Amino acid sequence: MRPTSPCILVAVLLAACGPVDTGSGSSAPSVDGGPVWSGGGAPDAPDAGTPAPPDAGNPPAPSACDGIVPSSNPDAISATVPHQGGDACWYLTTDEQGDIAAEAHSANGPPRWELWSPSGTTLGSRTARFDFFGQRSGFEGTHVESGSTFFARYANDGTELTRTLLGGSGCNGEAFLSAPGGAFVLGGCEKGPLTATFFDDSGRPSASKEIAPKRMSAAGLVDVKGAALVVVWPGNAVGASGNAAGRWFDASLSPATDWFSLPGNGDPPLLRPLAGGGAALQVGGTWVATIASGKSGWTAAPPWLASRSATDLAIVRQGRAYALIAKPGSSSPRNRLELFTPEGEHCGAGTFPGDGLSLGPDGTVIGSSGEGGCAIRWWPAVLR
């Protein structure tokens, strides 16, 4: 995961952590300095002591949290993202095979992505923008070259496999997360319409349509059901009231709803997919709404989510859980993530060495620290 978008790494540490106590809320010791997991109860609950053994005749009922908190840690891998003084390393992710991608950028230069295998073997590097998304193997994202913006598909070593011009000089586009794979691009040319394009896992466009009369500030998402949500601001630009407006589109980019008003304050919204379909909406660092897949309107974010501002949200455990990761400005330590069921039951938390965390789509947790956040350590597929 990376910070709000416009969301790595070669010494093997010693041993994996031992089992955690998933019933008492206490933390398990970490043998290798890796994450310390706690399980059960409300967040930050005091240690209730060693629980009594279950009645052999009446085993405990299954819990939605069973198997969510890891019982051990994989060995961690470390590396340093190549960088110069003053560079920052903010965006860290993986593909679904666990290949690591980490960028370094200066105040004015484009990001330079470095790529590693899950075990820490250097694979390659390349220049691309921050909207860089992992696929089944390799990555997709946008890149500016000679004043033109391209969408490109890359192998896991950074080799460019395909590229599509996004309208030529004076035009632009930004890629957004597609939960089923591929990417969703919004953009257009100056004084032209806002255009949406689906790109599949191979990097080829599968559908493209004009979705608003002019190019404007917009964010998007494809949810786990394959429905695309577009949020634009200001809302009156598309005839909706309020500061922001949303609209759902189907797989052919035909509208599934009219434009409808959404909470907004002029800040770029953050959209994250929900496990059963639909999206969560964050504005100004606060989770303000959930939006049902393919339906007009919104509901207030549930209390367990709304109360955790300055966090990022990711689906883990094959859709059985969410991970909430603290971002800059959070009241929680930035090296901590919390685990919840899709219904909002708190299952536990993990505290990692480092100053900040990111999460890849394969369940790899990546910690960053040091100068510019460029010292990287990761735990392969620990939340797969």
pLDDT in tens, 265-302: 999 999 999 999 999 999 999 999 999 999 999 999 99
User: Among the ranges 2-16, 31-45, 174-188, which has the highest mean pLDDT value?
Assistant: 174-188
* pLDDT value for 3: 45
Average pLDDT in the chain: 89
* pLDDT value for 170: 86
CA 363 to chain centre: 11
43-52, 207-216, 310-319: range with lowest mean pLDDT: 43-52
Of all residues in the chain, what percent carry a pLDDT higher than 70? 86
Q: How far apart are CA 265 and CA 275, in angstroms?
A: 26
**What string of H, E and C letters represents the secondary structure of 257-303?**
CCCEEECCCCCCCEEEECCCCCEEEEECCEEEEEECCCCCCCEECCH
Q: Has this prediction a pTM greater than 0.85?
A: yes
For the sheet containing 299-300, what is the strand order? 270-273, 279-283, 286-291, 299-300
Task: Give per-residue pLDDT as tens, 115-163.
Answer: 999 999 999 999 999 999 999 999 999 999 988 999 999 999 999 999 9
What confidence tier does 26 reach under pLDDT thresholds 50, 70, 90? very low
CB atoms within 10 A of CB 297: 12
CA 361 to chain centre: 7
Asked if residue 53 has pLDDT above 60, the reply is no
Task: Give per-residue pLDDT as tens, 239-252.
Answer: 998 899 999 999 99
